[in-house]
Structure 1
Amino acid sequence: MNVIVVKNYEEVCQKGVEFFIEQIQKKNNINLGLATGSTPLGLYDKLIEWAQEKNADLSHVTTFNLDEYIGLPKDDPNSYYYYMKEKLFDPLNLSPEQTFLPDGRATDIEKECEAYDQIIKDKGGIDLQLLGVGVNGHIAFNEPGTSFSSNTHEVRLAESTREANSRFFSSMDEVPTHAITMGIGSILEAKEIVLIANGTNKSEAIQQLVEGPQSEDWPITALQSHNHVTVIVDEEAASLLKK
């Protein structure tokens, strides 16, 4: 595991986007795993800035998102499809054929989960996966107690996760209770993983990842078993690390 500590969020995003730009430029066809939430936004802005400045050809890029709320239509401003389309896909001029998310409105959620894992395999797997982390150590929507061998599945969201995401909704009542999420086992199949985090509220999760034992109580610790993980954090997120 490669741990990079930088000064602030701006530097976290800059260091993180460098990994993505390098891979996009290096590979003829590349599958990127993407995350939502507030943490990746700065990185996405920098990726857009680079692509527009360089007039980059991204026709060889395919993206797969980690998760989607169950029950929200694609045109709902709080759906992750809407978020990604507005924040990244449209600015990068990525076509719908290049972008994949779980369908939270599928009539058979179990079949949708199986189909999503199969699409990723059929496309050759994820080359570079971006991750954030929740305060309780969740990655994607894999809450504490999730099996490290889990595939894409339906999950009931922890109240702490719903509360953290409620800032994007008008009220807590509007926050969905369930989601489809790529499983921890699915995430670990990515060839390379970059995790970014900032702020003191993420410091315990980062400490568990870097210095703690591997435990399903902290889903983030599953990454300890992956051979190609880079963790990029600011000084606040790294504040509990002993080294």
Structure 2
Amino acid sequence: MSSLTVQIHEDKYAVSAEAARITQNYLMETLNKQDEATVLLATGNSQIKFLEALTDSRKIDWSRVNFLHLDEYLNIDKDHPASFHTYLRAKVENKIKAKSFNYLLGDTLEPLQECIRYSKLLRRRQVDICFLGVGVNGHLAFNEPQAENFNDFDLVKIVELDLNTRCSQVDQNYFQSIENVPKYALTVTIPMILSVKRILCLATGENKAKIVKIMLQNNISSKCPSSILRQHSDTTLLLDKCSASLL
């Protein structure tokens, strides 16, 4: 039996507005109970309007909020236009005054040590809320299909990117060609994601309809990593009419 809450909204703008409303209320409630809150951020097109709406909020005391993020390409400069560091710096960090902003360093010379360093950061505090998107192949962060990743011991690992993932980055105009897309990345693992108190997952657009159907209606399986969200105790999946069209 799934514990996942599914919402279907008119379009991606309505999804973004509702996700921002939920997050604002949740962070305000959290900060009423404790001194700080910790947020685990996602990137990608599904997050753009949502993060824009969220960072416009003047009701959240951002000076009490710590930020981490889910993944980063390996061997990519932090200032590269397609790096997630660049994305989050522009869309979140530069728009608010957070207590802390902790980046995965994709341009590290020692990726295994970077996994250890970031794992230590994640262990220091309970993550209160995580934002996710769903890859066209069903991945969460960069946890790719059929990688048997539901029982990872590590919190952060190095992964080889699925060809579909790399192609989607070209389709979304983050890279000019498949040759330019890194083959490896650093990612927070599935067990780490599932340890978060509250999860919001956004999936919009017709190109997500097929994987959303698989995610919700097929067996929970590493063939579709996002299906594991059906086992989390407090996750909301926000869809628009296009991504929900096959349900």
TM over 0.5: yes
Deviation readout 1:21-44 (Å, 9 max, x if unpaired): 112212231111110111100001
Q: CA deviation at 1:104?
A: 1.1
Using the size of structure 1 for normalisation, the TM-score is 0.92
Q: Which runs of 5+ in 1 are unaligned?
A: none
Give distance in 1, aligned partners of 2:18 and 2:150. 28
Cα distance in 2 between the residues matched to 1:205 and 1:190: 23
Rounded to whole Å, the distance in 2 between the matches of 1:226 and 1:110 is 28
**C-alpha distance in 2 between matches for 1:203 and 1:92:** 33
Query: What SS is found at the alignment partner of 1:232?
Result: strand
**Amino-acid identity (%):** 29
3-state SS, counterpart of residue 62 of structure 2: coil
**Residue 121 of structure 2 aligns with which residue?**
119
Partner of 1:159: 163
Query: In structure 1, what is the Cα distance between the partners aligned to 2:151 and 2:135?
Result: 19
* Contact 1:188/1:226, CA 8 A, preserved across alignment: yes
Structure 2 unmatched ranges of 5 or more:
none
Q: 1:234 aligns with which of 216, 234, 240?
A: 240
Deviates more, 1:215-224 or 1:165-174: 165-174
Counterparts of residues 52-201 of structure 1 (less than 5 Å): 56-94=60-98, 98-122=100-124, 124-146=125-147, 147-150=149-152, 151-166=155-170, 167-201=173-207
* 1:176 Cα deviation from its structure 2 partner: 1.0
Alignment match of 1:43 (pick from 36, 50, 53): 50
Deviation at 1:187, TM superposition (A): 0.7
Q: 86-95 or 76-85: which moved more? A: 86-95
Q: Specify the code of the residue in structure 2 equivalent to 1:68.
A: E
CA distance in 2 between partners of 1:33 and 1:94 (Å)? 13
Cα distance, 1:72 vs structure 2 = 1.2
Which segment drifts farther, 143-152 or 131-140?
143-152
Runs (4+) of structure 1 moved beyond 6 Å? Answer: none
CA-to-aligned-CA distance 1:197-219 (integer Å, 9 cap, x gap): 11121112212222221111000
2:41 and 2:131 in contact (8 A); partners too: yes
Kindly report which structure 2 residues correspond to 1:12-31, keeping only aligned pairs within 5 A, or say none. 12-28=15-31, 29-31=36-38
Q: C-alpha displacement at 1:158, in angstroms?
A: 1.1
CA distance in 2, matches of 1:145, 1:187: 17
Matches of 1:94 and 1:169 in 2, distance apart?
30
Alignment partner of 1:39: what SS?
A: helix
* TM-score for both structures, normalised by structure 2: 0.90
Output the amino acid matched with 1:127: D
Alignment of 1:215-226 (within 5 A): 215-226=221-232
The Cα RMSD (Å) is 1.4
| Cα distance between partner residues in 2 of 1:115 and 1:180 | 12
Instruction: Specify the SS of the correspondent of 1:40.
Output: helix
| Aligned partner of residue 27 in structure 1, secondary structure | helix
Say which of 7, 24, 31 aligns to 2:10.
7
Cα distance between partner residues in 1 of 2:68 and 2:207: 27
The structural deviation recorded for 1:177 is 1.1
Mapped to 1, the partners of 2:85 and 2:93 lie a distance apart of 10
